[in-house]
């Protein structure tokens, strides 16, 4: 995939005349309080209708906050821009302003050409109607004339891979089929700018790969797009420039690698952890302790020395130090591991209960260890939840997020995990 990024980089030398989207100093207020929102809504509508609303609405009313504050960037023809940020950072709001659905409170957005929002996969699909009828309805909502839809109809059906189901109600489609049809409709409107909002997470791997290929192909033809994600990896594959939003503010923009690095750094720093890979927990107040407290989490390497970032394929020993006032028979340790920048999917669960290995908690300071002979995790950043439990339900103590990094000296390619192996030649 890095090869792809390099290739596309050289293809797009931005020129000023080629700016298709320009966002300048855009701010937007929001209000979460239901009653105030109603009141402000009516207030805004009246000042809009009476022509009282100007270009600088920069005073916050009571209970309002900035959903976006002074955000600006440019998008050139044939360029792909990534928009990263955690949920609630204002990505979707920005996308809605670019699509012209809501108005900014300060600043301007200039758009050249047709914008097709992929935030709207299948919006307007009526489950009762057939795929054919829905293609016509959906594509005319996206701004095509009947003639244009006639021209593209076969391509849409072929791309969505639903030739047999085209005359059955959309209700009878699988969710994958619906997503495919939605994507096919949006992509065949041939827009100048495509807004993609996390949608590539739908459908199976094969179709996702097909969508990515299609997006690359369209880019070669000069399509620009804005890709929104909280997952940095999908941005890496498609975009060379990137904008990072946090709480409505633009933190950094520019080269994807740099921006994503900053984004991932911030993801750690917002967690409670100060020492990456080695974490000592302060003594709990007496009332909060259930008798067993985790005091330190860290890794040991092959030679038994503490080590901040274990290596893929090598022995890693994960140590859980505890202090106990009681002794517990048949206790156990559960580790739940996720990717820091992932979609929240659990990658790995290690449980001494599942493995039917009873561990005993003894009074005093001791340590529980997990030996992992050939660590299977690939290089990257991970977040781990650690539980000391009894009977797999009662939790004595837990750590919500222990963050650690994995390094590697072996080439991983695009593998999702490490398989330890030996190669042999046998003569028979």
Binders of another protein among 180-199, rule CB under 8 A? Answer: 192
Q: How far is the CB of 410 from another protein (least distance, A)?
A: 21
Number of residues that bind another protein (CB under 8 A): 77
- CB nearer to another protein: pick between 96 and 405: 96
Angstrom distances, CA of residue 355 to CA of 349, 352, 359, 402: 11, 5, 11, 22
User: Among residue numbers 56 through 115, which ones bind another protein (CB under 8 A)?
Assistant: 56-57, 67, 93, 96-97, 99-115
Give 83's DSSP letter: E
Subset of 256-315 contacting another protein (CB under 8 A): none
Q: Is 43 helix (H, G, I), strand (E, B) or coil?
A: helix
Let me know: does 19 contact 74? Beta carbons within 8 Å.
Answer: yes
Does position 210 bind another protein by CB under 8 A? yes
Q: Contact 105/279 with Cβ under 8 angstroms? A: no
DSSP 189-241: T--SEEEEESGGGSS-HHHHHHHHHHHHHHHHTT-EEEEEES-HHHHHHH-SE
Out of 33, 167, 220, 367, name the contact with another protein by CB under 8 A. Answer: 220
Of 1 and 272, the one with the shorter C-beta distance to another protein is: 1
Nearest approach in angstroms of CB 252 to another protein is 25
Instruction: Show contacts with another protein in window 11-30 (CB under 8 A).
Output: 30
Nearer to another protein, 129 or 412 (CB): 129
Report DSSP state, residue 103.
Answer: -
Q: Residue written as tokens 């937007």?
A: 28
User: Does 159 interact with another protein (rule: CB under 8 A)?
Assistant: yes
Span from 54-62, 252-260, 373-381, 387-395 in contact with another protein (CB under 8 A): 54-62
**Among 33, 155, 257, 367, contact with another protein (rule: CB under 8 A):** 155
Cα dihedral 162, 167, 169, 171, rounded to 10, equals -10
**Closest CB 45 distance from another protein, rounded Å:** 4
Candidates 61, 213, 275, 365; binder of another protein (CB under 8 A) is 213
Name the helix (H) or strand (E) containing 139: helix 131-141
CA atoms within 13 A on the CB side of 234: 23
Nearer CB in complex with another protein: 147/345: 147
**Does position 162 bind another protein by CB under 8 A?**
no
Interaction of residue 217 with another protein, rule CB under 8 A: yes
First-to-last alpha carbon distance for the chain, in angstroms, is 40
């Amino acid at each position: 995939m890095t090869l792809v990024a390099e290739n596309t980089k050289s293809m797009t030398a931005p020129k000023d005349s080629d700016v298709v989207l320009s966002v300048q100093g855009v701010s937007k207020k929001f209000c979460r309080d239901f009653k105030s929102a109603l009141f402000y809504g009516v207030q805004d509508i009246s000042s809009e209708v009476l022509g009282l609303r100007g270009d600088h609405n920069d005073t916050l009313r009571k209970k309002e906050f900035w959903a976006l504050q002074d955000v600006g960037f440019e998008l050139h023809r044939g360029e792909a821009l990534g928009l990263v940020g955690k949920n609630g950072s204002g990505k979707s709001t920005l996308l809605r302003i670019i699509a012209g659905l809501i108005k900014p409170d300060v600043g301007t957005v200039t758009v050249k050409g047709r914008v097709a929002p992929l935030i709207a996969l299948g919006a307007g699909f009526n489950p009762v109607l057939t795929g054919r009828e829905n293609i016509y309805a959906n594509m005319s909502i996206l701004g095509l004339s009947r003639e244009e839809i006639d021209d593209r109809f076969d391509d849409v059906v072929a791309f969505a891979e639903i030739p047999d189901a085209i005359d059955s109600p959309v209700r009878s489609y699988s969710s994958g089929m619906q997503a495919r049809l939605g994507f096919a409709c949006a992509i065949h409107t041939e827009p100048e700018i495509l807004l993609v909002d996390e949608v590539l997470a739908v459908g199976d791997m094969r179709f996702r790969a097909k969508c990515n290929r299609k997006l690359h192909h369209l880019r070669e033809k000069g399509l620009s797009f804005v890709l929104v994600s909280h997952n940095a990896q999908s941005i890496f594959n498609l975009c060379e420039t990137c904008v990072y939003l946090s709480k409505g503010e633009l933190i950094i923009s520019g080269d994807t690698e740099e921006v994503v690095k900053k984004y991932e750094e911030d993801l750690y720093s917002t967690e409670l952890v100060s020492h990456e890979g080695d974490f000592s927990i302060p003594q709990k107040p007496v009332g909060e302790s259930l008798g067993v407290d985790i005091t330190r989490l860290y890794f040991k390497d092959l030679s038994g020395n503490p080590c901040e970032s274990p290596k893929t394929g090598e022995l890693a020993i994960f140590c859980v130090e505890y202090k106990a006032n009681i002794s517990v028979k048949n206790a156990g340790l559960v580790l739940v591991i996720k990717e820091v920048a992932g979609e929240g999917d659990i990658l790995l669960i290690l449980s001494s209960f599942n493995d039917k290995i009873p561990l005993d908690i003894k009074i005093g300071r001791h340590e529980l260890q997990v030996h992992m002979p050939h660590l299977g995790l690939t290089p990257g950043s991970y977040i781990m939840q650690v539980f000391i439990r009894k009977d797999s339900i009662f939790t004595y103590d837990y750590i919500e997020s222990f963050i650690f990094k994995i390094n590697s000296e072996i080439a991983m390619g695009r593998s999702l995990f490490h398989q330890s192996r030996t190669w042999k030649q046998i003569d028979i």
